Homo-oligomer: A and B are copies of this chain.
Amino acid sequence: MFSRRIADIQPPPRCAPFPAFNKMFNGCPLRDSPSFSELMTETALYLIPCTLGDTAPELVLPAANRDIILSLRHFIVEDVRSARRFLKAVDRGIDIDTLTFCDMGKHADRSQFASYLEPLRRNEAVGVISEAGCPAVADPGADIVAIAHREGMRVVPLVGPSSILLAVMASGFSGQSFAFHGYLPIEPAARQRRLRQLETRSREERQTQLFIETPYRNRKLFDDLLRACSPRTRLCVAAGLTTEREWVRSMSLGEWRKCGLPELSRVPAIFAIYAA
């Protein structure tokens, strides 16, 4: 058993409930590995995307996610209020008071994170929900997932909206190679240096470069892009993805300079650049 192997280098494994899943990691070929039905009877840590903004869940989430969500009793969440609101949107009839919520938000005590997986150790599934979009992608969740892997637990990511991925699709830039960098430095000189670095990397590696900013600074980031990068470098702005305010536009910085940026100070946006 894999779970015994890693005992050499890890604290005593507590992953007893995952025998079928862990059977695969014994060097055995897949023909000896567990069947789907065997696997499915095992619990998992489910990574549950939620909506971006007030969009109705059925517009952006597969129907199957709802069934999984309604089967869960334990959630690890970035923000309890927004998670409750999301669960209510998924099913008005959900009995929130029977559910447990553990906080993984920025003020949470990270030393408690391992204890959040206690239900899994007794074979009860757990869901992870961040404030918007996919947990562990530009949002908390990765620490929880890492602990689950360390204990040999099964991790199942569900399909849902990711503004990053949607922006890559809709940019018209390379989707064969792309990098997401999160937030750029705020200090103007450092930010412009970073933008020039990303432009150079895009040119040299033919790689689409994506980044974000808090909405009230979107205009500032746009201005810095016009200052720092070549007018021939292409910029895609993907705003309010999956919401009523969605629009996506790709053009050269020279064209952006002429056309201007629509008001974006309250709209979440993703920026992508591609330098030819």
Residues of chain A touching chain B, judged by Cβ–Cβ distance below 8 Å, are: 2, 5-6, 9, 21, 24-31, 33, 36, 39, 47, 58-64, 134-139, 141-143, 145-150, 154-157, 159-162, 164-182, 207, 236, 241-242, 244-251, 254-255, 258-260, 262-264, 267
Q: CA–CA, A1 to B135, complex, Å?
A: 39
Tell whether, in the assembled complex, residue A172 and residue B148 are in contact, meaning their CB atoms are under 8 Å apart: yes
B29 touches A263 (CB 8 A): yes
Among A47, A142, A154, A267, the one with the most B-chain Cβ atoms within 10 Å of its Cβ is A142
Identify A159's interface contact among B63, B159, B236, B258, CB under 8 A: B159
Residues in B whose Cβ lies below 8 Å from that of A161: 159
The reply to whether A173 and B142 contact each other, CB–CB distance below 8 Å, is yes
Report how far A30 CA is from B243 CA in the complex, Å: 15
Q: Are A177 and B170 in contact (CB under 8 A)?
A: no
Q: How many copies make up the complex?
A: 2
Q: Is the CB of B29 within 8 A of A262?
A: yes
Closest to A170 in B: B157
- The 4 closest A-B CB pairs, nearest first, are A27-B260, A146-B172, A179-B179, A145-B172
Return chain B residues, CB-CB under 8 Å to A33.
262-263
Most chain B beta carbons < 10 A, residue from A137, A154, A175 = A175
Q: Are A134 and B169 in contact (CB under 8 A)?
A: yes
Q: A28-B262, A60-B64 are in contact. List 12 more A-B contacts (CB 8 A).
A: A5-B259, A26-B259, A30-B267, A31-B263, A59-B64, A138-B176, A155-B248, A156-B170, A157-B166, A157-B241, A177-B182, A179-B207
The answer for the CA separation of A24 and B138 in the assembled complex, in Å, is 28
**Cα of A221 to Cα of B137 in the assembled complex, Å:** 25
